[in-house]
Amino acid sequence: MLLEIVHACGFRTITAFAEARPTASLRQLADDLQADGRSLGLSPGAWERQLAELWREEAELLGAAGIERMARRLLVGELAAAIPKGWLARWTDTHDARAAASKLSTALSQWGVYLGPSHKQTAARLCNAMIERGYTGAIPAGWLPRDPDDVILLELFTRHWTEPL
């Protein structure tokens, strides 16, 4: 049924639907699909989980490149929702910075959950690398990827994203 709603919105695939709004989080995408008033008997969180599962299944059909693209796109949306003002130079100097760090941590954890258990270690490795690069200043203050082909994001994935066979 969820796929039928995606089709009714004019998209052939969940990937196409998500790529049309490259900075939308999974929650925002699920909310968009719910906007027509259909609940399908699902809670808002269940919509997100169902959408993530279907998107992951679709990406897996495309192989490793499809999974990586989905992971990058999903991360863009989660970062945009969590840190809309972009990456901070310092994450602990003020109450607002600590709050942003907490939101970032939650978003990265949620991103890993959306990717599913088979990608848990890969997601953790990439998150750790991102945080480490941020602390060293390799990620500039204000950075916020606008699409899955962001240069910094691509570099992180090239170095730290490897999928199990």
Convert the chain into a string of H (helix), E (strand) and C (coil). Answer: CHHHHHHHCCCCCHHHHHHCCCCCCHHHHHHHHHCCCCCCCCCHHHHHHHHHHHHHHHHHHCCHHHHHHHHHHHHHHHHHHHCCCCCCCCCCCCHHHHHHHHHHHHHHHHHHHHHCHHHHHHHHHHHHHHHHHHHHCCCCCCCCCCCCCCHHHHHHHHHHCCCCC
Mean pLDDT of the chain: 91
Q: Which of 87, 112, 111, 110 is nearest to 100 (CA)?
A: 87
Domain that holds residue 27: 2-160
Does residue 78 have a pLDDT over 80?
yes
Identify the band that residue 27 occupies on the pLDDT scale cut at 50, 70 and 90: very high
- With pLDDT > 90 as the criterion, what percentage of the chain qualifies? 71
pLDDT for the residue numbered 23: 97
Residue 125 near residue 160, CB atoms below 8 Å: yes
Does residue 114 fall inside a structural domain?
yes
What digits encode the pLDDT tens for the residues 117-157? 999 999 999 999 999 999 898 999 999 999 999 999 999 99
pLDDT at position 165 = 42
Identify which has the larger pLDDT, 42 or 68. Answer: 68
Q: Is the pTM of this model over 0.95?
A: no
Q: Band of the pLDDT at 42, cuts 50, 70, 90?
A: confident
CA distances from 88 to 28, 138, 155 (A): 23, 12, 19
pLDDT of residue 110: 94
Q: Is residue 129 part of a domain?
A: yes
Count of residues for the chain? 165
Q: What angle do CA 68, 44, 48 make, to 5 degrees?
A: 10
pLDDT digits (tens, 9 = 90+) for 80-123: 999 999 999 888 788 888 899 999 999 999 999 999 999 999 99
What pLDDT does residue 40 have? Answer: 66
Number of domain units in the chain: 1
Is residue 22 in a domain? Answer: yes
Give domain status of residue 56, yes or no.
Answer: yes
**Structural domain includes residue 59:** yes
Examine residue 165 and state whether it is found in any structural domain, yes or no: no
